[in-house]
Amino acid sequence: MPRMSWQVTSLVPLAQVADVDRSIAFYQKLGLALGGRTKDGNIDFAGLRAERGATVLMLTRGRKPVAGDDQRIVFYLYTRDLKALRERLVAEGIAVSPIVPREYMERGEVELTDPDGYTVFIGEDG
């Protein structure tokens, strides 16, 4: 099918969080880099980038408290070395599950929770 100019070209989740700075620090521990930041008056926004430079997650301060149990989104990230990343997270004091092999992710995945209660899975895409 030929590419049409009106088609969506990418999808980037925008998560409402209680504290943008806290969330930036958390996701930087996972290896994401700050791509841009706006903090002016009522606007508190950040874009986080993956290794290849593409924005993969946007954060904004929520208008009301974020209830982790009510969230309907799960973040799934990939790494080339899950064991090394897990060891780094544990050393930083972040609670992370053991590496569990899955049918869809033979090299395994881990599960953790971000500061706002979002569930984060990380699989090895090796």
What is d(CA 80, CA 125) in angstroms, rounded to the nearest whole number?
A: 6
Q: Pairing between strand 14-17 and 33-40?
A: unpaired
Considering the entire predicted model, what is its pTM? Answer: 0.85
Domain ranges of the chain: 14-124
CA 124 to chain centroid, in Å, comes to 15
What pLDDT sits at residue 31? 95
What pLDDT sits at residue 35? 95
Q: Does domain 14-124 have CATH number 1.20.120.450?
A: no
**Per-block average pLDDT, block size 10, for the chain (126 residues)?**
76 92 96 94 92 92 74 87 95 96 91 92 86
What pLDDT sits at residue 68? 64
Q: Is 91 helix (H, G, I), strand (E, B) or coil?
A: helix
What pLDDT sits at residue 75? 92
